[in-house]
Structure 1
């Protein structure tokens, strides 16, 4: 499991490194003003729907059922099931695309009502949305093929597809002279990347001998079973997106740049989530599905304990850095060109607020698959509904005083509420029981995180003396010093604690 997760996580890390290059270029060329806000909303729209109808909900309903069909009924039955689902997916996505292209201004007005007061901003965002929205159809198709590949223990190419998004957007930024604005160049880059990502997974599926044919949509028993699981999963993914919609809606009423502050903070805290949480969750889902299909409940519990232990061990050093030194990190990565001091401060405040919920968000990527692997997509929805209500209510309460940072902090609180409720429900059905090794590991990691945060705070003063060491990037050297101090402190204590935990079996 860890070898597979390392493969997915390593390729995701490469994608994120390209992503940081992209974001550094975007920050310098686009800044955090009205044009940037217009592109962020246009980019978020297909990604919101992608999270609802494609990656999260789709994988939760499709992968366990495909893996079960593959294990019990053979490759032919599993392939027929996948082709039926593909036909249904493409038909639904084409209808959604046509509606989005026709009613783009109304969709933008719903997502960012603050733009309605500025007709130019609304019109620009709508025109960018018409360019980016077809990306949703392409990426939904790609997600299905990637799910088939994952069920066949082929993770590498599907995980590397996201690299192409960043490469295409970087290429678009290098060719901005060919477009009306930087935002239009980026929108075209997003669309081109959809074709590239779909192409690479189709190529890998052909190599693996699992290519899918087109057929007319059929409502078979397997498809009906898929839809019964897909419905609750969509509602669950929609719950997460409702909270994100609330962020965009409320941020559109805040001073210009607020949507962008959340975007850049999100890009940083998404690094451990993508490299660690999503990678482990991607591998854990088919692993748990196979063990539960074989009635190996103790083995499934052990895999979940080890997945949580490893995921949190790799996430908590980021928590210490983001909580104790968000300003130097944001300044080092994005603080140049059009990304001024106000943008650094706004993004840093949001990043610090996000750091509070980062452990919970990563842990959810391990706990939620434990329900999905058994075919239960409804229970996570019920837990998420409660967490979403708390999240959105807190956003409205905090946005007036804490601005974009208040929106980020509410997201963190909602994540913890969701995790605690889901873990309790899973333990009640004997799907999770913290073993002795896990308890010792968590105590050690908590101590390592606290020590790392204190060391980072202490190092802020000495690290400032290195500012300007690299004239072109004056904030880079201090951030490196802070990072080395934080990671080294965490690493020593965490390593000792994890060795002790291994002996506590």
Structure 2
């Protein structure tokens, strides 16, 4: 399978998760709006998510995947299985200790780290503590999921690992549907959401255990020991953990600042849900595929293949992300109103959320660039450069948030986040060029310039449509608004992709091969 095909395989699975995520968020918005229960749920859910991204998906995967790929290339599956078993035993012990401590000290953590401003509202504070305790086992399950997904990705089996997060949204949507049918109160709906999160983690873990067994790659349990291989993993994971920790501190500081304004945490989450669609589908797809592919190419000494991977990743990432950012920046109100505005989610909430979404979208290409640049360092076992990039990001984000929040409200937090993302991405790019780890090919630079030009032309059309037909895009009945937004998006897509294919910004042959392959039937595992 081609590189674009692998991106599409992961991106397609991620897209399914994101679409269901929209359904989930729309239902939460209708049931809870931007009220205290929504604030409590999102604040509590962010905490296990913080440790999941730090402890599992971030530091662990960044260190584990290159080492696991090295074992496969050097010693075959037997050596890789032995390494995985050693890591699993240490991971399980660490998760047990961390989970036990977090469950005991959760009131202290909520009062000092998660949402200290909630202390002025005892009911919201107590509900946040309860929901955080209910959902914290999700961390343990998802940490194991991250490890199994890393193994599958290193074996070039991408699809099921990318599909697993769909289960989170399936379970949450089912729980919300049952809550509506039973006419539960808002606090009870919050508890249903909490238990649904934990159940989804168990189901995701079960799916990936089955996927590995199907590949005849079973992992046994051994006594936890700090073997040389595990110590090497921990040595590499430490700076990656600090990198991930800084990034998550970034988000947590924003949450702490936002907790001073009622509904702000929920508004950030709703806006970020839309912003995460292109970031998740494209950024995650590139990050998931690029790290193991690049690691294996470098281990095999194939620098030509490594450069090809980087150039194609850069082209593909910018080709989808730049027009998506333009669309979200210029058409936020109709999109937010269409997706969320019903029930407890009012027009006033739509307007505020739209401002936040527009501010987030400015930084969207930067965060995808980070997803492209960071694996280049991790594949070479260089964990320190991304650490410096994250340090720059956190300083700018915290300073910007403290400066802008009093003046611009919750939109100021989104602006600070976008600015921090761009400075971090530019630093990583500068390091790649300075150290001669990657220089974009002339063809890649030309294509990116054409991509930006095409997105600008598309932006003119979006601006004209938003200014000329606000009554159809924002104030008409739901069917009319749905049709109007779809027509506007399709027209802008025709302008952008038409320009891109005509000028060579996008490779028509590559996309033709991709769609021809999909007509024959998708490869369910993303096999090469």
Q: Distance in 1 between matches of 2:503 and 2:422?
A: 24
Residue of structure 1 aligned with 2:120, choices 92, 117, 120: 117
Query: SS where residue 108 of structure 2 aligns?
Result: helix
CA contact (8 A) 1:333 1:476 kept: no
Q: Distance in 2 between matches of 1:240 and 1:425?
A: 19
Please name the residue that 2:294 is paired with: 288
Residue of structure 2 aligned with 1:388, choices 387, 394, 411: 394
Please name the residue that 2:415 is paired with: 409
Residue of structure 2 aligned with 1:244, choices 251, 266, 277: 251
Question: Which residues in structure 2 correspond to 1:88-167 (within 5 Å)?
Answer: 88-109=90-111, 110-167=113-170
Q: Distance in 2 between matches of 1:316 and 1:500?
A: 13
Please name the residue that 1:253 is paired with: 260
Q: Distance in 1 between matches of 2:459 and 2:34?
A: 29
Q: Which moved more, 1:455-464 or 1:67-76?
A: 455-464
Q: Distance in 2 between matches of 1:331 and 1:468?
A: 7
Q: Distance in 2 between matches of 1:272 and 1:427?
A: 26
Query: SS where residue 301 of structure 2 aligns?
Result: coil
For the pair 1:299 / 2:302, whether they are aligned, the reply is no
Alpha-carbon offset, residue 468 of structure 1: 8.5
CA contact (8 A) 2:360 2:417 kept: yes
Off by >6 Å, runs of 4+ in structure 1 = 500-503
Q: Distance in 2 between matches of 1:370 and 1:165?
A: 30
Output one character per residue of 1:198-254: Cα deviation in whole Å (capped at 9) or x when no partner: 000000111111111111211111111101110011011111101100111000012
Distance verdict in 2 for CA 1:471–1:500, change over 3 Å:
closer
Aligned length: 502
CA-based RMSD of the aligned residues comes to 1.7
Q: Which moved more, 1:381-390 or 1:221-230?
A: 381-390
Query: SS where residue 73 of structure 1 aligns?
Result: helix
Distance verdict in 2 for CA 1:468–1:312, change over 3 Å:
closer
Q: Distance in 2 between matches of 1:115 and 1:486?
A: 43
Q: TM-score, normalised by structure 2?
A: 0.92
Q: Distance in 1 between matches of 2:4 and 2:413?
A: 34
Query: SS where residue 466 of structure 1 aligns?
Result: helix
Query: SS where residue 219 of structure 1 aligns?
Result: coil
Please name the residue that 2:225 is paired with: 218
Residue of structure 2 aligned with 1:55, choices 38, 54, 57: 57
Q: Distance in 2 between matches of 1:366 and 1:299?
A: 15
Query: SS where residue 442 of structure 1 aligns?
Result: helix
For the pair 1:185 / 2:192, whether they are aligned, the reply is yes
Q: Distance in 2 between matches of 1:4 and 1:500?
A: 17
Q: Distance in 2 between matches of 1:111 and 1:195?
A: 24
Please name the residue that 1:272 is paired with: 278
CA contact (8 A) 1:437 1:501 kept: no
Q: TM-score, normalised by structure 1?
A: 0.96
Alpha-carbon offset, residue 387 of structure 1: 2.1
CA contact (8 A) 2:152 2:161 kept: yes
Q: Which moved more, 1:60-69 or 1:73-82?
A: 73-82
Please name the residue that 1:207 is paired with: 214
CA contact (8 A) 1:437 1:502 kept: no
Query: SS where residue 181 of structure 1 aligns?
Result: helix
Question: Which residues in structure 2 correspond to 1:20-35 (within 5 Å)?
Answer: 20-35=22-37
Residue of structure 1 aligned with 2:501, choices 483, 489, 495: 495
Distance verdict in 2 for CA 1:428–1:330, change over 3 Å:
same
Q: Distance in 2 between matches of 1:361 and 1:137?
A: 27
Alpha-carbon offset, residue 397 of structure 1: 0.6
Q: Distance in 2 between matches of 1:467 and 1:316?
A: 23
Output one character per residue of 1:139-185: Cα deviation in whole Å (capped at 9) or x when no partner: 00111111111111111111110000000000110122378521111
Distance verdict in 2 for CA 1:470–1:344, change over 3 Å:
closer
Q: Distance in 1 between matches of 2:464 and 2:219?
A: 57
Q: Distance in 1 between matches of 2:218 and 2:456?
A: 49
Distance verdict in 2 for CA 1:70–1:120, change over 3 Å:
same
Question: Which residues in structure 2 correspond to 1:30-41 (within 5 Å)?
Answer: 30-41=32-43
Q: Distance in 1 between matches of 2:446 and 2:295?
A: 28
For the pair 1:328 / 2:334, whether they are aligned, the reply is yes
Query: SS where residue 172 of structure 2 aligns?
Result: helix
Please name the residue that 1:365 is paired with: 371
Distance verdict in 2 for CA 1:381–1:467, change over 3 Å:
closer
Q: Distance in 2 between matches of 1:473 and 1:387?
A: 42
Alpha-carbon offset, residue 469 of structure 1: 9.7
CA contact (8 A) 2:291 2:375 kept: yes
Alpha-carbon offset, residue 481 of structure 1: 3.1
Q: Distance in 1 between matches of 2:485 and 2:267?
A: 19
Output one character per residue of 1:418-469: Cα deviation in whole Å (capped at 9) or x when no partner: 1111111111222111111111111111111212122101001443343599
Please name the residue that 2:441 is paired with: 435
Distance verdict in 2 for CA 1:284–1:85, change over 3 Å:
same
Alpha-carbon offset, residue 3 of structure 1: 1.7
